[in-house]
Every structure is written in structure tokens, then in C-alpha cells.
A and B are shown apart, each in its own frame.
Chain A
Amino acid sequence: MLYYFVPDTRIFGGIKVGYQFVDALNALGVPAVIASPGGLAASWFRSSAAVVDAETARRSFRPEDVAIFSLPHDYPSLRQLPGQLIFHCQGTDPLIDPILADPEVGVLTCWRQATEYALAHGVREPINVGISIPSCFAYTGEPKIERAVAYMPRRGAELCAEAMRRCDRMRYIAIDGMREAEVARIMKSCSIFLATSEHEWFGLPALEAMAAGCLVVSVPVLGGMEYLDDGVNCRVARPQDFPPALDELVHERSTGLRFRMRQAAIATAHRYTTERMRHHLSELLDGPLSSWRRA
């Protein structure tokens, strides 16, 4: 059995990625469940993963079981379990360095930059299992409000406020504390998404916005540069250049550019469909992760 340990059920991308991974494993026939405090399940996104109490899972853990985790603070306690320990690397914070230095811990990564980080820190064979965008974000021609701009105020609120002041002819819609389906609905109705979270590792919301047909204006991020191609499928601007970049983009003369970049964004997001991720994972289960089929 494979247990994916999560710390809670909060609205935090890392939690969703964990459930997504368990869903993918289940779909490919690998027995896997989420292990969560109190057996509580996250309810803000779609999943069909089974959830068990983390404490019970720890107590009943057998040497043939697999424990997966993605947050560094789970490492010391899970290190004591008798089975295989896997770190699902979703971020490249120095806090993870001791984990990467542990030869007993297998490392999975979600994107290229994380793989490079793991390699640079001595991990011999990190396995990139990928990441995917839920199908509810896939843009299927829903009507868009050309002047609507979506943003997430949780990170980079000041930058958002500055952009709003500079470009006050647009209508801004905050996305915060909402269920995934509602987020997808808003993104599909907006024409632009502001990704203002500096020091973001990957930026799943920006990729979801691209899938939803938004033109993303983003600050530079770490892992997200794998899908952000400035001037082709989005605009990437440093914080000080961010408000003028938005202002220029929403101008009448940029209509054609916005359309082209949106089309390119949808095409880019297509590389991250659930089907593609599962196909890739299926190949890994026939190769380096084949022992999981028998877990």
C-alpha cells in the first residue's frame, strides 16, 4: 500500500497535487490512499482518492508499504517508518536539502527546475512524474469578459493594488478561498490573470489560468518558467515593470497580440492534461517505479 501523507486540508496547491497524484496512481491500478490528520479529506477540489487517518496509517505501516510526502516538516517522523520513503518534490526551498541528502529517500519531482535542483544537490536519479491541470479548467469557448482581470490577493497583493491603480479601466476579480470549480468558472470568464506571487516555485494557478484561456501576466518565477514563454504565451515582467506591462497589454492596439498569446497559452496548457500525466506515469510504472504495482 502507498500512503501519501498530507499535513491538512487547506487551500494550498501542494495538497491538491498530492491528491492528484494518488488519483493518477489509482487510475493506473496502484493501491494508494491519502493519509491525513483525523482522516479528513480536502473538499475544495475534485478527487476520488480514499483518505485514511495519518496516525492509524503510521501505526499499521508495514515494511512493504510506501510513504510519500511533500512537506519537509513531515520528514523526521516519516523517516522512522519501516518501508520505502519517497519525497514528492513540489518546491525547491533550502529546507528540503537534508531530505535530498538522505540516500534512503527516493525523490520524485513535478517539473524540470525541481529535477535540476535535486540533481544539483546530489540526488542520483530524481524521477520527474509531472503535474497536471484538472479538466474543469479546460477552456471550451465560454464567453469571456474582455475587461475582466482575475487575480489571487493571497500573495503579491501590493503588486496587484499597484496594477489596479495604474490600469483602472479594467474590472478586477479576486480569487481567494474558493473551491476549484468556482475558480475555474471565474478564470474562464476573465481575459487576463495576474500572477503576482514572487518567489513562486511553479505557480499552478497561472498554468490553470492559461488552460482556462486567460492571458497571464506574471512576475518571474522559478519552476514556472518551464511553461511561461514571455511574448509568446504570456507576459513576464519584473515587479517594477508589471503595472506598465499590464497597461500596455490591455490597450486597444494589443487586441491581436492578446488573442494570439491566449491561443498559445491554451496550447501550452495542453501539455499538462491529466491524460498526458497519467500516460507518463504509466510508463514510469513499467520502469523505475515498477515495484509500486506490487505494493
Chain B
Amino acid sequence: MSHRLCAVIVSRGLDELLRFCLKNFFESASGLSDQVQVIVADNASARPYTASSFPDSRVRLLRFDTQTGFAAACNRAVQECDAEQLLFLNNDVLLDRSTLVRMMEHCDAPGIGVIGSWLYFPDGRVQHRGVVFGSDDIGPYHLDRGGYLEPRCAFQEFQAVTGACLMVERELFSRIGGFDESYSFGLEDIDFCLRVRQSGRRVICVNAGRPLHFESLTPGRVELDVSSRQLFLQRWRGKYSIDG
């Protein structure tokens, strides 16, 4: 069966959090008229996920026995699904009931390539509402991160959005070459968005309810960010516009 939307969730351990993530995803997907599927990429969890852990028939498990980079795991997972639209979702993102409907509203709009979403910390502060780029060594950063802010419009255009909750047409994802697997963890999403924009497609961030993002709960994540950042700046320094 062909699905309209497939969520790709790369996850390691944190079983209970993943269960909540899936629960919220399916609740949000209930507002859609189309079929959805989920591919959970078990990124070398010490205690492998089992089908019985996630009894919903729409969930498929893909197991990596050795820890794999986020980009490579996502690219591999995409090969396993047949949906038109992909949603890359972190296991620590809990979608709001309205999130998917609001994101999907923009899928067919001409020129839209990537759709991200406003995300909030559990205390209500903004975790993500779009990524902007500062000059010199500042590079990309989350606009208004940590502030108390309410959206003023349905969506806004950016150079990039976070991969924690990123929707993209499958055909575009493949055409652009997927995520760059040179990145260990972090900034592959920004690299991807910049390439999408180079192809002439737009990147937007939508106000899609109040989805939560706990952010970086997976152990060892922060250390990997450093090398990714170095790679990103090596590749992109001086090649993006300054809007931050």
C-alpha cells in the first residue's frame, strides 16, 4: 500500500520516550485523511526494540547493530518506505494534535521544499521557530531560542529549519541526495536545507500547535555536535547569506 506520509524516527534507547513520541504522532496523524506509516530506526540500542514494544501495525522497525550517524540512518530508513512525504522526527519531539495537519497543508503549495515546525521546551519557551545565520563564526542558530514568544503568522520562510521535525517530499529528498552522511550528528539538517534552497525550493517553518521538544536527550550527542559544526563551517563558511 502506498502511504501519503512516512515518519522516520532514529532512536537509541529511551523506550518510554519513544512510545510517547509515537503516541503523539499517531494522535496528530488522526487528523489526516491519508494513510501514514512510521519507520523506527533502532540506532544500536543496548536493548533492541522489539515489535511487541510498539504493537501498532503502522510501525516498522529497522535495526542498526552498530551506532550509525543520524544522516546515514535516515537515508537508509527512507529506502524502506514508499510514502510521498517524509517526516523526520526526533524521539524527544511530542507533536501536537494539529501539527501534522498544519504542516501537510503546505505540502502541495508551489515551490515549497521543506516544512519545519515551531517547537517548544516543556516550560513553554521557544525551542525552534526557524534557523538564521550570523556572520563570521556565529553561523547557524535557532532564532529566538529560549524566549517566550507567540507566533504572529501561519508560516515564515527561512534558510533552514531543524531536522528534529522536518517534512520533505520524498522525490525532492532523493533528488537532493538525502542527508550528507559526512556529518556525525547535527547540522546535516541545515546542510540539507541549504541545498534544497540552492535548488530553488523554499524552506518554511509553520505555526503548528504546540509540539514539545526536550532536545538532546540521547547520550553522547553533544560531543558529536562539535565535529559536525567544524565540517559545516568548512563546507559552508562564506556561502550562505546573513540573516541573523
Contacts and interface: CB of A to CB of B under 8 A. Distances in A.
B216 interface: no
Interface in B195-230: 197-202
Contacts of A50: 159, 194, 197-198, 200, 240-241
Contacts of B157: 26-27, 48
B230 to A, nearest CB: 19
B50 interface: no
Nearest to A180: B242
Given A27-B157, A29-B110, A31-B111, A47 B200 contact: no
Contacts of A46: 241-243
Interface in B164-205: 194, 197-202
A97 B4 CA distance: 54
Given A46-B243, A48-B243, A179-B135, A31 B238 contact: no
A43 interface: yes
A139 interface: no
Contacts of A45: 242
A192 B158 CA distance: 36
Nearest to A9: B238
A179 B243 CA distance: 12
Looking at chain B's contact residues, the main secondary structure is loop
B202 A49 contact: no
Nearest to B197: A50
A41 B200 contact: no
Interface in B110-151: 110-111, 135
A293 B111 CA distance: 10
A272 B243 CA distance: 21
Contacts of B152: none
A24 to B, nearest CB: 12
A32 interface: yes
Interface in A32-57: 32-34, 39-43, 45-52
Interface residues of A, number: 26
A26 B202 contact: yes
Nearest to B113: A31
B239 A51 contact: yes
Contact of A51 (B201, B202, B241, B243): B241
A45 B110 CA distance: 28
A43 B238 contact: yes
Contacts of B242: 41, 43, 45-47
Contacts of B239: 39-41, 51
A33 B241 contact: no
Contacts of B199: 1
B200 A51 contact: no
B198 A52 contact: yes
A49 B200 contact: no
Contacts of B198: 33, 50-52
A12 B199 CA distance: 26
A34 B242 CA distance: 13
B110 A41 contact: no
A19 interface: yes
A50 to B, nearest CB: 4
Contacts of A179: 135
Contacts of B158: 48
Contacts of B194: 50
A48 B200 contact: no
A41 B111 contact: no
B243 A33 contact: no
Contact of A40 (B111, B197, B238): B238
Contact of A41 (B201, B202, B238): B238
A182 to B, nearest CB: 11
Contacts of A29: 110-111, 202
Contacts of A51: 198, 239-241
Top 10 nearest A-B pairs by Cβ distance?
A31-B200, A50-B197, A47-B241, A48-B243, A1-B200, A43-B242, A50-B198, A39-B239, A52-B198, A41-B241
Given A26-B202, A41-B238, 9 more contacts: A2-B200, A29-B202, A31-B201, A33-B198, A42-B241, A48-B158, A50-B159, A51-B239, A179-B135
13 contacts: A26-B202, A32-B200, A34-B241, A40-B239, A41-B242, A43-B241, A46-B243, A48-B158, A50-B197, A50-B240, A51-B239, A51-B240, A179-B135
Interface of A: 1-2, 19, 26-27, 29-34, 39-43, 45-52, 179, 293
Interface of B: 110-111, 135, 157-159, 194, 197-202, 238-243
